Structure 1
Amino acid sequence: MSDPDGLQIGGRPRPVIRPRPASAWNGQEAILDVLAQCRWFRMLSRDELREVYREGVVISLPKGRTVFRTGDTSSDIYILISGRIAISTTGLSGREIGFRQYGPADAFGELAALDGKPRSANAKAMQASQLLRISPSGFRRLLATYPSVAEEVLKSLARLVRALSDRIAENSARAPVRIVGGIVQMAAEAAPAPDTIRVQIHPAPTDEELAARYDSHRESVNRVINELKRRGLVSRSRAALTVLDLPGLRRHLAEMRG
């Protein structure tokens, strides 16, 4: 098994992702704008963001291309510049279970960069995407140079542990509880502040995506969404799923759990 830029994974040939050095990228200032919005780097100055930029290479992925798979030995980190990346795991039955999606300014891949162990999840481009890829040594240099980056990475790890704990609890619950709990989690991640009431989840997850993510069926998801709409807690369009009252949705989830 090779890293995601290698030629082979599990015996199957893979095309090489051809990076170009970040220093040669024409959209440098636009990329710096995205880095400034990333949780890890938001406390850095423009000149410091340029140092982050110089640590990486920019890669472009077509829709459907895998960034890495569970068990890969690659350990780079990624900052999504444009597009959409889905993170999933593979269950014992071989079924792929999605649990997170990333948009521009989101960073991921830090676990393997920190402990050097194989990847614990799959990452796949759901849209044509551009990413800044930074080697584990470059990532460690950034952590050592900028304490604010190290602090934000620790916070992101804490959020990941909490999300996984919540996921374990939801997986033992009934399907409607898992679905509503998942929507609450997505809204909390998308909320700009902890006390936000109205939150837009963009792009809107489809019924099929929610069913796969929360181990249910499309019909069950549709019934749950319609019930939440009837209660005035959510609205949905093709572009976004909007939680109209996040505190109210949390209360409804608590009532469902009994």
Structure 2
Amino acid sequence: MDNESVVLAAPLFATMDEDERHSLVASMVKVELNRGEVLFDEGENGDRLYIIEEGKIKLGSSSGDGRENLLAILGPGEMFGELSLFDPGPRSLSASAVSDSVLYELEHSALVRVIEERPAVAKHLLTALARRLRRTNEALADLVFSDVPGRVAKALLDLSTRFGERVDEGIRVAHDLTQEELAQLVGASRETVNKALADFAGRGWVRREGRAVVLLDLDRLERRAR
């Protein structure tokens, strides 16, 4: 799938014919970010929807004492910022690039016009929001009911479904996260997450490769994630 096809697969385009899709993409602004570059901060007024063409974007929030919580990692074909259409106001999360990224930006007025012309688009946007909310609710439940190794296993499996690549030994996941970012995603300390990963590696379930990991035993990881 080429880069433009990745963008066109986003829920925003679900009810459009080919000419309408390409016309809308042509009206969007292309945004390029380097790794670590901030797209927007929590609290900023939000009036843009974004679709990722390349790279990875992290969504997170910060506490008053400076601690950070990483809520989601999004990749090619995924979109964010649509909440501003249904609930205008300050951004509830910050967004920054985990790796060099390319996005397409659609301003609020243009998005409203699309919704008015094609009301069915709203259904697809709400479905995308509901899926993200469901994942957030699952993550919150995991914080209460799952131990750290279980959450690490589940995070690796989730990342593998979107960023994994089949290799001879299993699935290689180039997550591009630092140890601190992975810990934030799991909701635990870096030391505890590293201990869990070291245990998985010792058992032969994974092999660590810098900002990537090879999942060697999916069955064991799935059982540990339950």
TM bucket (normalised to shorter chain) is 0.7 to 0.9
Q: Is the 8 A contact 1:204 1:241 kept in 2?
A: no
1:222 to 194, 212, 215: 194
TM-score normalised over the length of structure 2: 0.79
Q: Is 2:13 the partner of 1:41? A: yes
Q: Which has the higher contact order (CA 8 A, sep 6+)?
A: 2
- How far apart in 2 are the matches of 1:182 and 1:203? 11
More strand by share: 2
The answer to whether the 8 Å contact 1:32/1:50 transfers is no
Pair 54,122 (structure 1): closer, same or farther in 2 beyond 3 Å: same
2:43 aligns with 71
**Alpha-carbon distance in 1 for matches of 2:121, 2:223:** 34
Cα distance in 2 for partners of 1:170, 1:48 equals: 41
Q: Is the 1:80–1:131 contact (alpha carbons within 8 Å) kept by the matching residues of 2?
A: yes
Q: Distance in 2 between matches of 1:248 and 1:147?
A: 45
What corresponds to 1:118 in structure 2?
A: 90
Q: What is the number of equivalent residue pairs in this alignment?
A: 220
Aligned partner of 2:131 in structure 1 is: 159
**2: distance between equivalents of 1:149 and 1:236?**
41
Counterpart CA distance in 2 for 1:68 and 1:40 is 21
Deviations, residues 189-211 of structure 1 (Å, cap 9, x unaligned):
5579xxxxx65433343322212
Tell me, in whole angstroms, the C-alpha distance in 1 between the residues paired with 2:103 and 2:185: 24
Report the counterpart of residue 176 of structure 1 in structure 2: 149
What is the CA distance between 1:149 and its match in structure 2? 4.0
For the Cα contact (< 8 Å) 1:86–1:126, is it kept in 2?
yes
Q: 1:234 to 1:131 in 2, by over 3 A?
A: same
For 2:160 and 2:100, the matched residues in 1 are separated by 24
Are residues 187 and 60 of structure 1, via their aligned partners in 2, closer, same or farther at CA, if it must alter by over 3 Å? closer
- The one-letter amino acid of 1:169's match is A
Shift of 1:31: 5.5
Q: CA deviation at 1:124?
A: 1.2
Matches within 5 A, 1:232-243: 232-238=204-210, 240-243=212-215
Write out aligned runs for 1:24-63 (5 A).
32-41=4-13, 44-63=16-35
CA RMSD, 1 decimal: 3.0
TM-score normalized with structure 1 length: 0.71
Unaligned runs of 5+ in 2: none
